[in-house]
Amino acid sequence: MAATAQAKADKAREVTITRTFDAPRAQVFRMWTDPAHLARWWGPMEFTNPVCEIDARPGGRMYIIMHGPKGTPYDADFPMSGTFHDVVAPERIVFTAFAQDLDGTKQLECVTTVTFVERDGRTILTVHARTVPLIAAGEPMVEGMAMGWTQSIDKLEALLKQTS
């Protein structure tokens, strides 16, 4: 393995989050594949998604712009683009996403696998993300990945409670 490839692999971080929701699997799956729903919960607390375009099918694209909380150091746009590799309704979604600068420079790459298991009318959601910083600016994002995913799933849970 080349030295740069090894250095990137050494900086990779993985996170797995499992959460059980009091909602049917089809509803939870829809929250991930319908851009109107995804825009309401994607990203850390107090972040919004003024742009949320997704085509949840194999080869389909995604483009999301998260905006940080006003009046904070994160009061900015954070674009993300990606591609869906596997979408099996309502069981599994696999996609690769890239956080990028406003000029399009890719800062990190994240391969995410999401599974949905229905048990007794409830849904067991598992998110597994493997993220690699591509440039130095992506390293702090990778470090905050577990917190960001946890907050996103917390927002998803709150939304599911509102819509049930």
pLDDT in tens, 65-96: 999 999 999 999 999 999 999 999 999 999 99
pTM: 0.91
The overall average pLDDT reported for the chain is: 92
pLDDT over 90 at 50, yes or no: yes
Residue 77, classed as helix, strand or coil, is strand
pLDDT at 10 (0 to 100): 62
Rg (CA), the chain: 16
Contact 139, 131 (CB under 8 A): no
Q: What is the topology classification, in CATH, of domain 3-163? A: Alpha-D-Glucose-1,6-Bisphosphate; Chain A, domain 4 (3.30.530)
- What ranges do the domains of the chain cover? 3-163
* pLDDT score for 141: 83
pLDDT band at residue 140 under the 50/70/90 scheme: confident
Backbone CA torsion sign across 44, 47, 48, 51: negative
